[in-house]
Amino acid sequence: MEERPFAVLAVQQIAVGGLDKAPMRRLWVDMLGLRPSGHSRNEAESVDEDILELGHGPLGVEVDLMQPVDPEGRPRVHQPATTSASSIPWRASGSRSAAAAC
């Protein structure tokens, strides 16, 4: 296994975006059993999100299922930004596998 120039200390949040949250809820809530813990709608950021919980306490992870309020508006939570491996700021030079994991 290739040695990595970083260590993952924890995962605090996972954000998943799409045009419609319903299929994502079927996967994350109905099939995988995550617990809904909240909801947020922000017109200015064009995001409607369901907040889910995976685990609890210091090892708990928040999973945000996001859909756009206005699919034509910005930012577009359903379209990931295109990021090249060379533009990831924490990536150590020469470590392609670390960047590919993003």
Q: According to the model, what pLDDT value does residue 82 have?
A: 57
78 lies in some domain: yes
Q: Which of 2-6, 17-21, 69-73, 78-82 has the highest mean pLDDT?
A: 17-21
Q: According to the model, what pLDDT value does residue 75 have?
A: 72
Tell me the DSSP string of the chain: ----S-------EEEEE-S-HHHHHIIIIIIT-PEEEEEEEETTTTEEEEEEEES-GGG-EEEEEEEESSTTSSS-TTSPPP--GGG-TTPPTT-HHHHHT-
Q: Which two tokens stand for residue 55?
A: 């685990």
Q: Which two tokens stand for residue 18?
A: 């799409």
Q: Which domain holds residue 71?
A: 13-100
Task: Please state the rounded mean pLDDT for residues 37-65.
Answer: 93
pTM of the complete model: 0.69
Task: Please state the rounded mean pLDDT for residues 86-102.
Answer: 43
8 lies in some domain: no
Q: How many domains does the chain have?
A: 1
Q: According to the model, what pLDDT value does residue 98 have?
A: 40
Rounded to whole angstroms, how far apart are CA atoms 79 and 71?
Answer: 10
Tell me the DSSP string of 81-94: PP--GGG-TTPPTT
Q: According to the model, what pLDDT value does residue 81 have?
A: 66
6 lies in some domain: no
67 lies in some domain: yes
Average pLDDT, the chain: 80
5 lies in some domain: no
